[in-house]
Amino acid sequence: MMKWYDEIIRKAPPPYYRNENKYDHLQYKDIPGLTNLFDKSKFPLYDQMSMWKRGTVKAHEADNNTYTPKISGRKNAMMLVNIYNFVKEQPRFPWQQGSLRNPSNPDTQTPDTNAISLARGDKSFTLTEDEIGITVIYEYNKLFLVNIYYGENSKFNMYVNRLQTTGTGDMDYDLTNGEVAALLIMAQMTNPKEYKERQRLFLDMRIGPLTRNTESKYIKTLVDKGFVDMNEYHNSPSMRGYPKVTAKGKAASNRFEMKHRKFHSEFRDIVKDKPDEEFTMFENEDSQLGEEYQ
Does 212 reside within a domain? yes
pLDDT score, position 21: 60
**Residues whose CB falls within 8 Å of the CB of residue 121, separated by 6 or more in sequence, listed in order:** 68, 69, 70, 71
Mean local confidence (pLDDT), 197-222: 95
Q: Helix (H, G, I), strand (E, B), or coil: what is residue 158? A: helix
Residue that is last in its domain, among 140, 159, 178: 159
pLDDT score, position 12: 36
pLDDT score, position 178: 97
Is the pLDDT reported for residue 192 higher than 80?
no
Taking the C-alpha atoms of residue 180 and residue 193, their distance in angstroms, rounded to an integer, is 20
Mean local confidence (pLDDT), 264-292: 76
Mean local confidence (pLDDT), 256-268: 91
Residue of higher predicted confidence among 222 and 55: 222
Whether 30 and 158 have beta carbons less than 8 Å apart is answered as no
Q: Are residues 139 and 175 in the same domain?
A: no
Q: Helix (H, G, I), strand (E, B), or coil: what is residue 134? A: strand
Residue of higher predicted confidence among 67 and 16: 67
Does 14 reside within a domain? no
pTM reported for the whole predicted model: 0.74
Taking the C-alpha atoms of residue 80 and residue 119, their distance in angstroms, rounded to an integer, is 9
Does 12 reside within a domain? no
Q: Are residues 43 and 87 in the same domain?
A: yes
Q: Are residues 179 and 97 in the same domain?
A: no
Q: What is the CATH number of the domain that holds 115?
A: 2.60.40
pLDDT score, position 287: 31
Q: Are residues 174 and 155 in the same domain?
A: no
The single-letter code of the amino acid at 58 is K
Strand partners, 148: 59, 134
pLDDT score, position 161: 82
Q: Are residues 142 and 103 in the same domain?
A: yes
Nearest-CA neighbor of 137 among 128, 127, 147?
147
pLDDT score, position 73: 83
Q: Are residues 237 and 275 in the same domain?
A: yes
**Residues whose CB falls within 8 Å of the CB of residue 217, separated by 6 or more in sequence, listed in order:** 178
Phi–psi pair at 178, nearest 5 degrees:
-65, -40
Does 61 reside within a domain? yes
Residue that is last in its domain, among 136, 159, 182: 159
268: pLDDT confidence band, cut at 50, 70 and 90?
A: very high
Q: Are residues 58 and 93 in the same domain?
A: yes
Does 204 reside within a domain? yes
Whether 50 and 79 have beta carbons less than 8 Å apart is answered as no
Q: Are residues 151 and 52 in the same domain?
A: yes
Q: Are residues 198 and 264 in the same domain?
A: yes
The answer for 268, left when phi > 0, alpha when psi is -120 to 50, beta otherwise, is: alpha
What's the maximum distance between 2 C-alpha atoms anywhere in the chain? 61
One-character DSSP codes across 40-96 = TTT-TTGGGGGG--S-EEEEEEPGGGEE----TT-TT-EEEEEEEETTTTEESSS-E
pLDDT score, position 20: 52
Does 6 reside within a domain? no
Neighbours of 224 (CB within 10 A): 10
- Report the mean per-residue pLDDT for the chain: 85
Does 208 reside within a domain? yes
Q: Are residues 95 and 126 in the same domain?
A: yes
Nearest-CA neighbor of 62 among 156, 151, 155?
151
Give me the percent of the chain exceeding a pLDDT of 90. Answer: 56
**Residues whose CB falls within 8 Å of the CB of residue 178, separated by 6 or more in sequence, listed in order:** 205, 207, 217, 218, 271, 275, 276
Taking the C-alpha atoms of residue 71 and residue 118, their distance in angstroms, rounded to an integer, is 8
Domain count of the fold of the chain: 2
**Tens digits of per-residue pLDDT, 79-114?**
999 999 999 999 999 999 999 987 667 778 887 899
Q: Are residues 249 and 149 in the same domain?
A: no
Taking the C-alpha atoms of residue 173 and residue 256, their distance in angstroms, rounded to an integer, is 9
The single-letter code of the amino acid at 107 is D
Residue of higher predicted confidence among 56 and 207: 207
- Could you list the residue range(s) of the whole structural domain that residue 89 is in? 32-159
286: pLDDT confidence band, cut at 50, 70 and 90?
A: very low
pLDDT score, position 3: 39
**Tens digits of per-residue pLDDT, 147-167?**
999 998 899 988 988 788 888
